[in-house]
């Protein structure tokens, strides 16, 4: 059974972002960790977007610790939409939050972005050296 808990973490510019950590079943040692970034916030994208939730659950079922989160200005996350540039700091903070999760190997971390999340994630890659794999959807 998957274990999903709320998480909050701070960006480098001092905003508190909300998210969820989805862990594999207790008897499974994590294979790695993944951050999942959602589609465009101005068009209804959030960490509750069905594909984002499905990705997190599927990855956790496969043994990965997953952090899905709301970009600034979405849901309970502080701040306002930053045009994509400011959201790079959100990706950096989410990757750091993933790294703070117990059992996540440093050399087995990935970033998955959906639409806007893929674009911002790709832009943020040079700032997240611990990410060893990237997948962009749509």
What's the average model confidence in pLDDT over 33-47? 98
Does 24 have pLDDT greater than 90? Answer: yes
pLDDT on residue 25: 87
**Nearest in space to 55 (alpha carbons), one of 118, 104, 126:** 118
pLDDT digits (tens, 9 = 90+) for 58-89: 999 999 999 999 999 999 999 999 999 999 99
Instruction: Answer yes or no: is pLDDT of 1 > 90.
Output: no
The band of 2, judged by pLDDT with boundaries at 50, 70 and 90, is confident
| pTM (2 d.p.) | 0.97
Top-confidence residue, 3 or 50: 50
C-alpha distances in Å from residue 134, one per residue of 14, 23, 64: 26, 20, 15
Please report the domains of the chain, with CATH numbers, ordered by start residue: 3-137 (3.40.50.1820)
Beta strands in 38-103 (DSSP E): 64-69
The conformational region for residue 31 under phi > 0 = left, psi -120 to 50 = alpha, else beta, is: alpha
* pLDDT for 113: 98
pLDDT of residue 26: 81
Report residue 27's pLDDT band, with 50, 70 and 90 as the boundaries: confident
């Amino acid at each position: 059974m998957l274990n999903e808990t709320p998480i909050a973490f701070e960006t480098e510019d001092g905003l508190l972002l909300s998210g969820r950590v989805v862990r594999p079943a207790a008897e499974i040692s994590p294979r790695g960790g993944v951050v999942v970034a959602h589609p465009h916030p101005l068009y209804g994208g959030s960490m509750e977007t069905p594909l984002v939730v499905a990705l997190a659950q599927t990855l956790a079922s496969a043994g990965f610790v997953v952090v899905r989160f709301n970009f600034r200005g979405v849901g309970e996350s502080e701040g306002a939409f930053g045009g994509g540039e400011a959201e790079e700091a959100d990706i950096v903070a989410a990757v750091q939050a993933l790294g703070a999760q117990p059992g996540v190997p440093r050399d087995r971390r990935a970033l998955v972005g959906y639409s806007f999340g893929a674009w911002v994630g790709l832009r943020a890659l040079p700032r997240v050296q611990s990410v060893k794999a990237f997948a962009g959807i749509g």
